[in-house]
């Protein structure tokens, strides 16, 4: 996939490209999105998110927000440690925004409290945590963090599963989160400069996921200029290398794409 070398309008850093089992040592789902001249934000924060940011040399203290695609632990369980870092290392005072499906606030508070029982009590967090809970329903043109507008499209994986179409700096990036191949996924991809799609299996998907063969067969229906596959194992990466799909790449931990 070609990359522009100078001043991309939007930078994507794939902090974690693995599945719930961290197969082949891949990190849990976490995508760093940085529009030019704007603060970065995350999409999902699986258990390895903070370690991945430290390894990549990006500063979690710069984050303006996090979007969550659904409430499974491999997409959310890194959140308590991001809060801990914000409170005790970054010494954050600016608000941190959270976007996610209904139930996100309660789930994230329970996670944080299970890890550190007093983290959220008595004003321990020295910054406002602002939650925007989204119905699992189509919505367009919502206002995100600074410089970002986004659409929400329900997808099919868990009752809370939503995909995001994020627009910033004239670039549109879709992120499927976990989903089976469904009409919502095809709707999400329409008009995207890049669509980040989960691809858990080579052939028959386990649970409600997408397979590489479904991507191969259905790519024209996604309507995105380019596709990056995440939530993968090395089996998927090897099968892809044996038989690549034009316009598609398999993301690796630490990979940067400029758009
Ligand atoms: Zn999931």
Would you state the pLDDT for residue 204?
84
Average pLDDT in the 213-225 region? 96
Q: How far is the CA of 5 from the centre of ligand 1 (A)?
A: 34
Which class for 189: exposed (0-12), middle (13-18), buried (19 or more C-beta within 10 A)?
A: buried
**Domain interval for residue 164:** 10-258
| Two structure tokens written together for 30 | 């976490």
- DSSP 8-state secondary structure symbol assigned to residue 62: G
pLDDT cut 70: percent of the chain above it: 98
Whole-model pTM?
Answer: 0.95
- Higher per-residue confidence, 164 vs 2: 164
Q: How far is the CA of 55 from the centre of ligand 1 (A)?
A: 24
Q: How far is the CA of 208 from the centre of ligand 1 (A)?
A: 8
Would you state the pLDDT for residue 7?
84
Alpha carbon distance 10, 177 (integer Å): 19
In this structure, is residue 2 part of a structural domain? no
Read off the pLDDT band of 5 (50, 70, 90). low
Alpha carbon distance 37, 31 (integer Å): 18
Inform me whether the pLDDT recorded for 188 exceeds 90.
Answer: yes
In this structure, is residue 64 part of a structural domain? yes
Alpha carbon distance 225, 209 (integer Å): 22
Q: How many CB atoms lie within 10 A of CB 137?
A: 11
Inform me whether the pLDDT recorded for 219 exceeds 80.
Answer: yes
Do residues 46 and 78 touch, judged by C-beta distance below 8 A?
Answer: yes
Average pLDDT, the chain: 95
- Number of structural domains in the chain: 1
| CA contacts within 13 A on the Cβ side of 24 | 16
Q: How far is the CA of 19 from the centre of ligand 1 (A)?
A: 9
Alpha carbon distance 216, 59 (integer Å): 36
In this structure, is residue 134 part of a structural domain? yes
Residue with tokens 């004003």: 123
Average pLDDT in the 160-184 region? 97
Average pLDDT in the 107-122 region? 94
Q: How many CB atoms lie within 10 A of CB 67?
A: 28
DSSP β-bridge partners for residue 23: none
Average pLDDT in the 198-224 region? 94
Alpha carbon distance 183, 250 (integer Å): 22
Read off the pLDDT band of 1 (50, 70, 90). low
Residue with tokens 């890194």: 78
Q: How far is the CA of 93 from the centre of ligand 1 (A)?
A: 32
Would you state the pLDDT for residue 122?
77
Would you state the pLDDT for residue 99?
98
Would you state the pLDDT for residue 3?
52
Q: How far is the CA of 4 from the centre of ligand 1 (A)?
A: 32
In this structure, is residue 78 part of a structural domain? yes
Among residues 196, 198, 199, the alpha carbon closest in space to that of 235 is found at 199
Alpha carbon distance 61, 146 (integer Å): 16
In this structure, is residue 79 part of a structural domain? yes
In this structure, is residue 75 part of a structural domain? yes
Taking only the tens place, the pLDDT of each residue in 130-163 is 999 999 999 999 999 999 999 999 999 999 999 9
Inform me whether the pLDDT recorded for 4 exceeds 60.
Answer: no
Q: How far is the CA of 157 from the centre of ligand 1 (A)?
A: 7
In this structure, is residue 4 part of a structural domain? no
Taking only the tens place, the pLDDT of each residue in 74-87 is 999 999 999 999 99
Do residues 206 and 259 touch, judged by C-beta distance below 8 A?
Answer: no
Q: Which CATH number belongs to the domain containing residue 31 in this structure? A: 3.60.15.10
Lowest-pLDDT range, 78-92, 120-134, 135-149, 209-223?
120-134
| Two structure tokens written together for 170 | 């004239």
């Amino acid at each position: 996939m070609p990359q522009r070398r100078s001043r991309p309008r939007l930078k994507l850093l794939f902090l974690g490209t693995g599945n719930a089992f961290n197969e082949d040592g891949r990190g849990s789902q976490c995508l760093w999105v940085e529009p030019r001249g704007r603060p970065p934000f995350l999409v999902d924060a699986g258990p390895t998110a903070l370690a991945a940011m430290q390894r990549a040399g990006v500063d979690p203290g710069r984050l303006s927000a996090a979007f969550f695609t659904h409430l499974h632990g491999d997409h959310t369980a890194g959140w308590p440690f991001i809060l801990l870092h914000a409170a005790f290392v970054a010494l954050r005072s600016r608000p941190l925004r959270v976007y996610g499906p209904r139930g996100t606030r309660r789930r994230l508070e329970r996670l944080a409290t299970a890890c550190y029982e007093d983290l959220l009590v008595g004003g321990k967090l020295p910054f406002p945590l602002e939650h925007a809970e989204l119905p699992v329903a189509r919505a367009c043109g919502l206002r995100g963090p600074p410089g970002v507008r986004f659409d929400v499209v329900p997808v099919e994986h868990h009752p809370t599963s939503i995909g995001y179409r994020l627009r910033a700096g004239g670039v549109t990036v879709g992120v499927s989160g976990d989903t089976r191949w469904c009409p919502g996924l095809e709707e999400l991809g329409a008009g995207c400069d890049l669509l980040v799609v989960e691809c858990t299996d080579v052939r028959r998907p386990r649970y409600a996921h997408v397979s590489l063969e479904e991507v191969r067969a259905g790519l024209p229906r996604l309507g995105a200029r380019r596709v990056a596959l995440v939530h993968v194992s090395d089996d998927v990466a090897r099968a892809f290398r044996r038989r690549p799909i034009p316009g598609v790449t398999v993301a690796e931990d630490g990979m940067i794409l400029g758009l």
